[in-house]
Every structure is written in structure tokens, then in C-alpha cells.
A and B are shown apart, each in its own frame.
Chain A
Amino acid sequence: QKEVEQNSGPLSVPEGAIASLNCTYSDRVSQSFFWYRQYSGKSPELIMSIYSNGDKEDGRFTAQLNKASQYVSLLIRDSQPSDSATYLCAVNMGLTSRTYKYIFGTGTRLKVLA
């Protein structure tokens, strides 16, 4: 079983709709969770981080974390064609009090249709 799993997609949504991206992880001691956006040919860009259960909102983006279910999601409201990219989920697993293992999922490709 992969440590961080995402559906590869593509996930296609019409412009203006809500895009919902999901990620599951296997390590129960995981401490922090991240979403990155990666445009084709570019480097990953951090868009959201979440550290505790519940929702965290930043503009059109909402990250949701459920540690009991080992599940983290990203909602993009009012999706725009410029949101078309691959979205990477990353999980930080604490190895010791000072060292961490940072694992990426393989990403979900999102296509927003104009």
C-alpha cells in the first residue's frame, strides 16, 4: 500500500464549479499535511497547509483534514481554467522529535473546462 494515495485523474469540472481533490495516507502519526499545485513543466508550489482536524480556508481554497479516517481533501470553489494543473498531496510523518519524512502522492490532474 502506498503511503500517500491520490486518484491520478484527470478530474474534469466546468468553469465556476467546485473541484474536490482527495488524498489518503497510511501513517497514523502523520503530523502535517500540504497541498501543492504543479503546472506542466513547472515546479510544485505550496498552496495550502493544514495541521489539525477540520477545515482551513484561504480564498477559493479549503483544505479538510480528518485524522481518524486518515483523509485530507482540497476544495477549489469557483474553479477557473487557470486552476488546471496537477495537485500534489504531501504528508509529513514525524520520525523522531526532530526528524521528519515528507512523502508526496503522485498527484491528481485537474482540468477546468471553459
Chain B
Amino acid sequence: EAQVTQNPRYLITVTGKKLTVTCSQNMNHEYMSWYRQDPGLGLRQIYYSMNVEVTDKGDVPEGYKVSRKEKRNFPLILESPSPNQTSLYFCASSLSGVYGYTFGSGTRLTVV
């Protein structure tokens, strides 16, 4: 089944404790993105990647890191999480930049 897989689905952590949210797609898509979704603010792009080893900042990159060492994987790293990073996170992939995205199931992160 073609899909984007994110893990974990739910995560509660403490301020400053490094964490990684994994994302993997099995569709051989070039483009991958991370979004956060907050009430009233909609989906905001954190980082995106056009291909292996090619990444760029989205609209809200501060406090996040990404890497794209393999085409299928695009992990999101929070080196020192803070409470304002409490949000619902989505990973998404697209065949290329002009096509729509397929989204993962989401990760609900709470930082206390």
C-alpha cells in the first residue's frame, strides 16, 4: 500500500530533551515536507526537501532540523524542544513539486 508512515503518533516530552520524529514513504517520491498544524494558523511548512541531500527552509524552521540521506526517509529533529513546539506535525510526500502531497497520519507532540 502506498503510504507515508510517521512515528510516533503521540509523544509527550520535557523541555530540552532532544527528539526525532521519523517519516518514511514507499512511493519513490522526490519531494517531502514537514508541516505543523495549529488552531487558527492552519498548516505551516517547516522544511522541505526536493531530493536526497537537498533541503530548504519553509515558513517556520526555527528550532527544527531535518536531513534527507535516503530518498524514502525524512526525519524531523528537535534538538531542544520548547513548549511553543507543542503541535500536530505532519510529514508529506509528492512525486514532484507540481503535484499534490500525500500526508502521513500525524504526530501529536506535547512539550511540558
Contact = CB atoms under 8 A, between A and B. Distances in A.
Are both chains from one complex? yes
Interface of A: 31-32, 34, 36, 42-46, 49, 51, 88, 90, 92, 94, 98-107
Given A32-B98, A88-B42, A105-B42, 5 more contacts: A34-B100, A43-B105, A45-B103, A100-B97, A101-B45
Given A43-B90, A106-B41, A49 B100 contact: yes
Interface of B: 31, 33, 35, 40-45, 48, 50, 56, 90, 97-106
Given A43-B106, A44-B43, A88-B42, A98 B50 contact: yes
Contacts of A31: 98
A39 B31 CA distance: 24
Nearest to B44: A104
Q: Which 9 A-B pairs have the closest CB atoms?
A: A100-B97, A106-B42, A43-B103, A46-B100, A104-B43, A34-B100, A49-B100, A32-B98, A44-B103
Interface SS, A side: strand
A98 B97 contact: yes
A31 B45 CA distance: 18
A92 B42 contact: no
B54 to A, nearest CB: 9
A99 B47 CA distance: 13
